[in-house]
Amino acid sequence: MEQDEILNLVRKKAENWLNSNVDEQTKNQIRYLLKNDEQELTESFYKDLEFGTGGLRGIMGVGTNRMNIYTLGMATQGLCNYLKKEFSQLKEIKTAIAHDSRNNSRHFAETTAKIFAANGFKVYLFDELRPTPELSFAIRHYGCQSGVVITASHNPKEYNGYKVYWEDGGQIIKPHDKNIIAEVRKISSVNEINFNGNDENIFLIGKELDDIYTDKIKSLSLSPEIISRNNDLKIVYTPIHGTGVRLAPMSLRKMGFKNIISVPEQDVISGDFPTVKSPNPEEHAALKMAIRKAKENNADIVMGTDPDSDRVGIVVRDNRGEYIILNGNQTASLLINYLLTKWAEKGKITGKEYIVKTIVTTELLVEIAKKYGVEHFDVLTGFKYIADVIRHFEGRKVFIGGGEESYGYLAGEFVRDKDAIISCSLIAETAAWARDQGLTLFEMLLHIYVEYGFFKEYLVSIVRKGKEGAEEIALMMKNFRDNPPARINNSEVIDVIDYLDSKSLERINSRNGEIEIPASDVLQFFTGDGSKISVRPSGTEPKIKFYVGVRENLGRISDYNRVNTILDSRIEGIIKDLKIQ
């Protein structure tokens, strides 16, 4: 489409909003953009926000491509219309709503509640901010047909988002995601949104559910006696201005830990995230204050959750005594190794148990599962696919745990999304278990490497914002498809998996038994030296991501530095060969 055509389309969409029932403040902002800022006008209206791997997410502002009460309202009205069709046999449709600490989150949550109520639904709305996983728990607890959480996870402060959940407590997947979008697209004007809800249909959820939720987390504990012996473990915890501020320490204390050290400056609930540039626990800068607090107190472990508390970053001392952030693959390996070891020791493995990971997550989890005779499943990136496996096998097999490299983990079946509150509690228990054996978590990780092999992963994210950026990312994927490399870093490419290719899917499905992997814009290259390179556009951010995984035997712990250097060199060679940095 030519630039003039795009601008004409954008202007037409903006004029439609001016002639609708949007509020006067919004109209004034649109008028300003029409007269003064053609570029921002285009970015705000050139497309409609759509559901990606995490739902609806975007920069807050006016326009069809921005998060505001009207784009949110159209999504909610479309969701309402779909729920009425899907659950027409029910006398009453129930929904639950939660929100994080971001600017406008409470306003967006209350707006969503009013629209649900206006459509005749019974609505459970948390009385204040809560972790995303507790929303998943609430849907199942109250027998809801759907739910929404207002959050943009760990995105920068200008973002907000809207995640939709289904009756099983998991995020929506095929066919519901596309069907909801189809219903939204039928709404031609914001005038069709029913904002005038009956407040009598809205019920506030308070502390009573927090108690039930954290009691369930405590029931996951596998080593209460070990915690009792190590209850003075020094844990520094930061919510990074988000929803974990109360429930993460509450859950840790219920598990039996007594020495929880806060970071007061980051206990302040704020959508401006005043102490960090980005509230992403994957980034060192976000955990800088917590690490400083750990050094002051000689802490054993640092935990930092993102604003909606579904991801957690873990900091431990390495073999030189320095505090380092574990990557998501390392934390997942420690957690899964602990869970499977303890399940085996307790005689709980009967042949029906399984773990789940995403296709871009470390293959080390597969090796650990093999040792204990536990089945494993690979799914696409996005925790909703892990939840779908749990739903698929419910009542037939037992989910022990699972995770993804992007700092999201889960154990147990009462929540159907990644859960940083559960993860903090069980990772602390893992640290207590290691300490009970005279080991730090990092030393425990080295023992895992010696037993199963040294797996190392690295992520390269290339950001390309806006319309032009989206086109550039699409072109990069096309080039990799049309001209796949024959060798990468002097190692032959022995297998290529294209998740848009039905033949590739057929091969993948055969590896996963009953689990169907839907088509997705993902490429994977496997080389003769055991490397795995995955390429995918992000579903929630303007990025294309390259996941590089390499492996090498580690004969003994004293060889760690030497083998680590070898793996670093291999990763650098792959990045250079693919020209991605």
- Residue 84 CB burial class (10 angstroms; 0-12, 13-18, ≥19): middle
Q: How many CA atoms lie within 13 A of 34 on its CB side?
A: 18
Q: What is the pLDDT of residue 154?
A: 83
Question: Is residue 153 flagged as an active site residue?
Answer: yes
- Label residue 50 by pLDDT band (50, 70, 90): confident
- Average pLDDT rounded to a whole number, residues 18-32: 93
Question: Per-residue pLDDT tens for 53-92?
Answer: 456 889 999 999 999 999 999 999 999 999 999 999 999 9
- State the CATH number of the domain containing residue 531: 3.30.310
Within a domain: 359 = yes
- Label residue 185 by pLDDT band (50, 70, 90): confident
Domain stop point among 405, 421, 442: 442
Question: Per-residue pLDDT tens for 107-126?
Answer: 999 999 999 999 999 999 99
Token look-up 């920069």 returns 59
Indicate whether 163 pLDDT > 70.
Answer: yes
Residues 485 and 358 in one domain: no
Residues 191 and 230 in one domain: no
- Which letter does DSSP use for residue 256 in this model? T
- Label residue 49 by pLDDT band (50, 70, 90): confident
* 3-class secondary-structure state, position 238: strand
Total number of domains in the chain: 3
Within a domain: 37 = no
Residues 279 and 359 in one domain: yes
Question: Which of 279, 379, 307, 312 is closest to 149 using CA atoms?
Answer: 307
Within a domain: 61 = yes
Question: Per-residue pLDDT tens for 190-244?
Answer: 999 999 878 899 999 999 999 999 999 999 999 999 999 999 999 999 999 999 9
**Catalytic residue selected from 44, 136, 146, 153:** 153
- Label residue 127 by pLDDT band (50, 70, 90): very high
Residues 278 and 397 in one domain: yes
The span from the CA of 241 to the CA of 275, in Å, is 9
Residues 290 and 409 in one domain: yes
Output the six-digit token pair for 324. 């380092």
Indicate whether 512 pLDDT > 80.
Answer: no
Pick 356 or 156 by higher pLDDT.
Answer: 356
* 3-class secondary-structure state, position 577: helix
Within a domain: 13 = no
Which amino acid is residue 388, in one-letter code? D
Indicate whether 509 pLDDT > 90.
Answer: no
52 membership: H or E segment, kind and range: none
Indicate whether 396 pLDDT > 90.
Answer: yes
Phi, psi angle pair for 59, to nearest 5°: -70, 140
Residues 437 and 459 in one domain: no
Question: Per-residue pLDDT tens for 528-564?
Answer: 999 999 999 986 678 999 999 999 999 999 999 999 9
Question: Which of 512, 514, 509, 311 is closest to 394 using CA atoms?
Answer: 514
- Average pLDDT rounded to a whole number, residues 310-331: 96
Within a domain: 217 = no
Residues 74 and 103 in one domain: yes
Domain stop point among 158, 183, 211: 211
Which amino acid is residue 404, in one-letter code? E
Q: What is the pLDDT of residue 1?
A: 55
- State the CATH number of the domain containing residue 303: 3.40.120.10
Do the strands 122-126 and 202-205 form a parallel or antiparallel pair, or are they unpaired?
Answer: parallel
4 membership: H or E segment, kind and range: helix 3-18
Q: What is the pLDDT of residue 54?
A: 54
CB 280 within 8 A of CB 286: yes
The span from the CA of 311 to the CA of 328, in Å, is 9
- Label residue 51 by pLDDT band (50, 70, 90): low
Residues 366 and 296 in one domain: yes
Indicate whether 350 pLDDT > 90.
Answer: yes
Phi, psi angle pair for 529, to nearest 5°: -90, 10
Indicate whether 2 pLDDT > 80.
Answer: no
Residues 174 and 56 in one domain: yes
Indicate whether 255 pLDDT > 90.
Answer: yes
Residues 266 and 368 in one domain: yes
Within a domain: 23 = no
Q: What is the pLDDT of residue 188?
A: 80
Question: Per-residue pLDDT tens for 398-443?
Answer: 999 999 999 999 999 999 999 999 999 999 999 999 999 999 999 9
User: In the predicted model, what is the mean pLDDT of the chain?
Assistant: 94
Residue range of the domain that includes 419 = 226-442
Domain stop point among 183, 211, 239: 211
Within a domain: 310 = yes
Q: What is the pLDDT of residue 302?
A: 98
Q: What is the pLDDT of residue 184?
A: 83
Residues 433 and 474 in one domain: no
Within a domain: 29 = no
To the question of pTM greater than 0.85 for the whole model, the response is yes
Residues 429 and 466 in one domain: no
Q: How many CA atoms lie within 13 A of 112 on its CB side?
A: 33
